Each structure stands twice: as structure tokens, then as C-alpha cells.
Structure 1
Amino acid sequence: VVHDNGRRTEITRLTWRGRITDRGSSLPLDGINRVPGLIRNCGGAGDTPTSLPLHDVTCTDPDELVTFTPEYGARTPGGEGVEAVLDAHERVVELRSPRGGTIPPGGSSVQATGERVADLTALAQLGDRLSVSTTLLDARGRRISPSPRTDIVNGGPELVRDGRIHVTPATDGMVHPDDPSWYYGWVHKRNPRTLAGVDAAGRTVLVTADGRGTGSLGLSIGESAEVAKSLGLRDAVNLDGGGSTTMVAEGAVLNSPSDAAGERPVGDALLILPHRHGS
């Protein structure tokens, strides 16, 4: 979690909670800005095949409530179910079935699938105010209130906590009970790695290690933790590695990405930008 435009960084475990409320009744939400029924990396109640985290696996759940904001895109995902569309004042202006469509400026929506359709239909009435609340909690259960100056990126497993090596592949879903080779290839085997951490002075440290080549073999997750600790990091986490491991400065790629095609298209990145006056 990068606070205040990079002035403070922390490595912590976050828990997301959401609810919709109308006239004193409320329902728990299953997610935000994702396709209902598909849970990447699992970890949700009622997921199949598991409610535990399972990295690089998409679990399913036919009965979900998911809220959408304009950040999702121009249109919400379509499919069977019901969608309550809210304006900027949280008033229900439309009930769609099937679900999918545009969101009013400043508004949002809530989609229901499976058994949750009846729940949403009973709660959301045209013209009513449907309050959508979401909360982020840190590892100690304290509420985190992100601002426009906050950036959050997820990763795993943990590597260092409070200055000590603390590797968590099982907790973070890197152990697949039905496929022992997955742990070997992802955790034990050397690969290109990307690490992020915070040192004792509070400075944010980003590390890339090349691999899968004759000149650079890469790091195992255990070795990544050793590197993070040797650099004096108080807390550190593993980020997406393999062919995604790329470090760029002033427009030049500094490392050697392992994919044969070079740089890999990725969905997100950590950017360090020049300080702007007044920011």
C-alpha cells in the first residue's frame, strides 16, 4: 500500500468487505468490479473447488452479489441475473434482467446471479435509495481509508516480515494439493522475480532478478526472501515474476525479460513518477 503519493509504503494483508443497505435491511457483497461467478485465485466463501486461496486458478460461485463502479469500464458484464442501476445519489433508476449495460455518470450498479437474484429483487425497488458501502481492513483489523493519493498492488507470497524471513506460499495459494509439481515450478524452482519492500528508514525498494537464461538463473522464493533480507528490508513481498519481470528507467529496459518476444504485455505496473509541484 503506497500512501500519500509515495511518501509512505507498507506491506500488509488487506481484507475487503462490502454491503448494500436499503430501509434497514442489508446484504453482504461478494466482490467489486469483476465478473460475477468467476473468482480469480479463489479465496471466497462458497467458491468451487475451494474457498481457500489457490493461485492462478479461477474458482466459480453461481450465487453472487457484485457491485460495479465506472472504473470497471463503459459497460458492465452481461448474462443471466438481475442488475440494480444506481444514479449519483444512490437511487435505483433501473432494474435490468438480463444484466449488463452502462452506468449513469457518478453512479454504480449491483449485479445478482443464481440464488442472490431473489435477495436483490426484494431489497432494491425503483426509486429507493440503495446504499453501497465498502471497507478495507488491514492485518490487525483496522480500517484503511484509501484516498486519491493511495495506490495498492497485490502480490504474494510474503518474503520478510518485521525484519525476519517470513515466506507464506501455503497461505497465499501457491500449494496445489492435487498438483505437487505446481509448487516446485512456481516456488522452489528458480525464475525471474520482482520484489517490493520497505527498509528500516521507510524507503520503498523495488528489485528485479533476471532468470531462465544462461547468464542469469533466477531465484527461488526462498532465495528471494534471503535477497530481500540482505538488502535490509523490514517487510517485503513477491510480485508477479517470470516473463513479467521488467524494470524500466527513463524509457530504457534495464533488465533482460525472459520471454522470447521481449517485454510481456501486463495488466498493471508500479510507476515511480517525478514529483510535481503541489502534489
Structure 2
Amino acid sequence: MDTTPHPRTAPRRRRRILLASGLALLLAIGGGTAWALDRFVIEHVSISDVSAYEAENSSTGGAVSTTTDATVTDTGYDSAEADISISTVTTGSGDDTVTYSVADVTLSDATVLRSAFAGDAYGTNITETTSAIADANDAIFAINGDYYGFRDTGIVIRNGVVYRDEGARDGLAFYTDGHVEVYDETATTAEALVADGVWNTLSFGPALVERGAAVDGIDEVEVDTNFGNHSIQGEQPRTAIGVIDDNHLVFVVVDGRSPGYSRGVTMTELADIMVSLGAETAYNIDGGGSSTMVFDGSLVNDPLGAGEERGTSDILYIAGSTQ
């Protein structure tokens, strides 16, 4: 097993290319094509300045504190707010090789782990790369989020502020007291969660680990069945969050679809990885080409074996001093 850091490539901002004539042609076709473009391609902005919105509505005033007294190395970050240890693990050989990146994170306070939206805007089909969103928020560490903008269901609470209250599946809730738990979105409301101290939620799944053991049957779970969604079954690139203890988390990004470097993993294999890292609870979030980890301004993993990031709606991040 190799746990040496994987060489990190320079961050790349996603270039948005608007093919106006082609888009106009597709819209002219009408019917299902126009609906699909509107639902999955065209940006719909509900809140254009999330930073200002959170400053008005969050109990913390939307402020993000960063430390100037921090130690940054190629594989870690040490400050009063967070300790972060980065490693890369490779197992297997040939076409059975699996490569994944691990961030072991201890927080001084649960609110140090924050969320940010692409373009500092809330809505659907608004995307940027994880690196670009991280850079805009002075993040020392970031992973892709749950791609909330792909769907119109799920409870979305970010940095203590409610954005959506449409319970649909099992979600993950981060509380201000440091504990994290999987919960049934359909059995509560966003308002009740915030009243109970929820700081952030993610809505994807499934839960991978419960009480320190892999959950049975997770390879058959379907998170979404709507138009345009790719299957999450089989060997895929993955992103997962594990809970070791209060304010002690482990983030894992598995590369995939790159024979000889990393084939990806099944849900059960991902759960086994989380258990091996000491997670008592673990939860799957958006994967595939979105699976990305960024540390100190650079990619930690190698998305799809090409070093190119796919745009996403949101990230989880820790702000801090960078080199």
C-alpha cells in the first residue's frame, strides 16, 4: 500500500464556452429538447449574492475567519482553527489499481467547515470547478459538494442559512456542536434543523457506514432516477465524508475510469475504505467527474486520470492561509 502524496497539478479554472448559435438552434426545436436545456443547462439564479445574503441571515453574520499563524506543507496544514493531513493511497495493480486521496481533518469548531456556491450564487445549473470556487473563498482545503443545483429536491442548509426545504432522501447534517449524523429529510424541516443547531446539510447518499460497519445493500441504491442522471452503481470515481468523532472528519476522493491508475470503486468498497480509516458514520456525495479534492491551491487527486475538473454547484471548504 502506497501512502505517499500524489503529485498535484496546477489548478485550472473552467472555461465557459457559450455556443450561442447552437443553443438557439436546439431551443428552436422545442418540446423535450427545450425542456431539457432549461432544466439541466441554462442557469437559473435565485440568489445572486450569497455572501451578502448569508451576512444578513446567518447567526454568524456570514463572517469567515482565517488565521495568519499557520503551518502549511505539501501534506498538511496546522492552525488554531484546523489540522489537516493529506495522503494518497494506492492499492492493487494493473487494471485493478485503485487510487484515492484522504484528508484527515480535526476542527477547533464545527463552523470552520463551510460551504460555498459556484459564482457566489444560488440556483440551478450554476457551475464552476472546485478549484475556482475554492480560490474565490480563500480555501486551504476543499472537496466537491452534493451538486445541489442538479436537482430541485433535498434540504439545503449552508452556513446556518436555509436555501431549500424539499425533503426527499437521507441527508447528512453537520451540527454546530461538532457532531454529524445521517437523517431522514422527509421526517423534519429545514427550520427545525436550524433550530436544533444544524450548520450544513448535504443531500445525496446513500449512507455508507453506520456504527462503524458498512451498510448492507448500498450497491443497489438509486439516489436519483430523473432524466439526465447517470447510474451511481458499479466501479466509479467517488467522494465520501466520514465521521470519526465530534469535529474529527475524514474526506475521501477516489479516482476512477482510468485503467492502470484507478478503476474507481463500488459503494461497498467505498464503505470498506471509510471503515478502515476509522469512520463510525460515512456518507456518499456526488462523484464521477465531479470528485475533486483541492489543497493549498492545487489538485490533490487526478479527476478521470486527465487532471481536468468538471464544474460543480458547490464545495465544502476550510478557509486558511496558503503558501
Normalising by structure 1, we get a TM-score of: 0.43
Which structure's relative contact order is higher, taking Cα pairs within 8 Å and 6+ residues apart? 2
Normalising by structure 2, we get a TM-score of: 0.38
Which is richer in helix? 2
Higher alpha-carbon Rg:
1
